[in-house]
Amino acid sequence: MENEKDWIKAGQIVAQVRDYAKTIIKDGSSLSEITELIEKKISSLGGKPAFPLDLSINDIAAHYSCLTNEKTIFRKNDIVKIDLGVHINGAIADTASTICVESSEYKELIEASEKALQEAIKILRPNLKVNEIGKVVNEFI
């Protein structure tokens, strides 16, 4: 049974791994290589993956998980969505982020998305309807 310390530790690990992932995705690195490095990092910090790591590139909207023997290679200017989760004794922390591989080509898009997230966080409260969050994000964007 999870407890508050498990939730906190899972959150700390997932944040650290998310930031690590942003630094290792480079032009020429493979999807399978990066997936393995991220999963090893989760384990080395004392966590376990909460779900399969999702690394979606360019026009793949979200939730693409690496296949066995994946040959996809990251290239400069690829826009990559990183979605990962960590669990400690069943306490799950989930996070996502977007980067542009070795480029600032999509800097404004990424910054706008991050700012929209911050606007959405400001209105969070118990019993808030999901469409209210979407409305704030839509209006901000």
DSSP codes of every residue in 23-54: HH--TT-BHHHHHHHHHHHHHHTT-EESS--E
Q: In this predicted structure, what is the pLDDT of residue 1? A: 54
Q: In this predicted structure, what is the pLDDT of residue 2? A: 62
44-to-13, 93, 136 alpha-carbon distances in Å: 10, 16, 38
Q: Is there a single domain that holds both residue 60 and residue 33?
A: yes
Q: How far apart are CA 127 and CA 124, in angstroms?
A: 9
Q: Is there a single domain that holds both residue 8 and residue 34?
A: yes
Q: In this predicted structure, what is the pLDDT of residue 32? A: 92
Over the stretch 29-75, which tens digit does the pLDDT of each residue have? 999 999 999 999 999 999 999 999 999 999 987 888 888 777 899 99
For residue 62, report the phi and psi dihedrals to the nearest 5 degrees. -175, 165
Q: Does the global pTM surpass 0.95?
A: no
Rounded mean pLDDT of 74-101? Answer: 96
Q: Which domain holds residue 80?
A: 4-103
Q: Where are the beta strands (DSSP E) in 1-141?
A: 48-49, 54-57, 79-88, 91-100
Q: Is there a single domain that holds both residue 110 and residue 98?
A: no
CB atoms within 10 A of CB 137: 15
CATH number at residue 79: 3.90.230.10
Q: Is there a single domain that holds both residue 127 and residue 64?
A: no
**Six-digit token string for 74:** 């990251």
